[in-house]
Amino acid sequence: MRDDDDRPRDAALADVVVPDDIRDLARDVAAYHREVRRAERARRLRQLLARRGAVPTIVVAVAALLAALVAGLLAVMAPRTVIRAPEAAPLAAPAAAPGAQGGLLPSTTLIGPNGAVNTRQPALRPAVFALVPVGCHCRTLLNSLSGQAYGEGLQLAVVVPAASDPTAASLVSPRIGNASVYYDAPATLAGTIGRTHGITVVVVYRDGTIYSIQRDVTDSADASLDAALQTMLLADRP
């Protein structure tokens, strides 16, 4: 009778290594359980597909999901519908003083993206003016104003009281609304209408008269223009 050490060993077990610590087998155990779960999911899917009517139901559900996804993309990517604003009317001759509500904008020359333009020219009415101080960190607020004006077909004229301001060009986003930056070197508008350290929002009607003035606007909640713009433009829409 041979000793155990003299018995021939199975060739398949010749390379088996028994770890000293059972934790060394953690990866293998995790892989095994993943395979078991994968096989169980496949079995359940086969059972589901084997049921009568399961395939049409899945097809309908997938089609509905794809339709909802396409509808959402179209809603996001579709161009915004913009109401066309009325054209400029002949300049009014109101009794109110320039710069006051009901009066005309003070006459001054602004330097805009297309060169010099007078504040009373048809190109700037109707419109929304935002009079901002030099170095204004108000991009979010101005973009909100720009979006509201754009929804009514109006432009937002951001007026900076300086011949130039290195930060002014970044005040408005070209992707939001229809906004342009204008430079008012003598600060005529700011000195006549603004008279504050914050932002002044001025809505100008198509005949050049000032429809409304909001001073010391500090955030988007204070800069709601929808009611004022819709009321001003309602009479001109069919």
Nearest-angstrom CA–CA distance, 172 and 136: 11
Confidence (pLDDT) at 135: 78
Confidence (pLDDT) at 104: 94
Q: What does the buried/exposed string (b/e) look like for 45-84 if buried means 16 or more CB atoms within 10 Å of the residue's CB? A: eeeeeeeeeeeeeeeeeeeeeeeeeeeeeeeeeeeeeeee
Nearest-angstrom CA–CA distance, 153 and 205: 13
The rounded radius of gyration (Å) of the Cα atoms in the chain is: 35
Q: Are 189 and 105 in contact (CB under 8 A)?
A: yes
Confidence (pLDDT) at 238: 43
Nearest-angstrom CA–CA distance, 76 and 177: 16
- Domain ranges within the chain, ordered by starting residue: 11-77, 109-234
Confidence (pLDDT) at 224: 72
Confidence (pLDDT) at 107: 93
Per-residue pLDDT of the chain (238 residues; tens, 9 = 90+): 445 555 555 555 556 666 666 666 667 777 887 888 888 888 887 777 676 555 566 676 777 788 777 776 665 555 555 556 678 889 999 999 999 999 999 999 999 888 999 999 999 999 999 998 887 888 888 888 888 888 888 889 999 887 776 677 778 777 677 888 999 988 889 888 976 677 899 999 989 999 888 888 877 655 677 677 767 776 554 4
Q: Looking at the structure, give the CATH architecture of the domain made up of residues 109-234.
A: 3-Layer(aba) Sandwich (3.40)
Confidence (pLDDT) at 138: 83
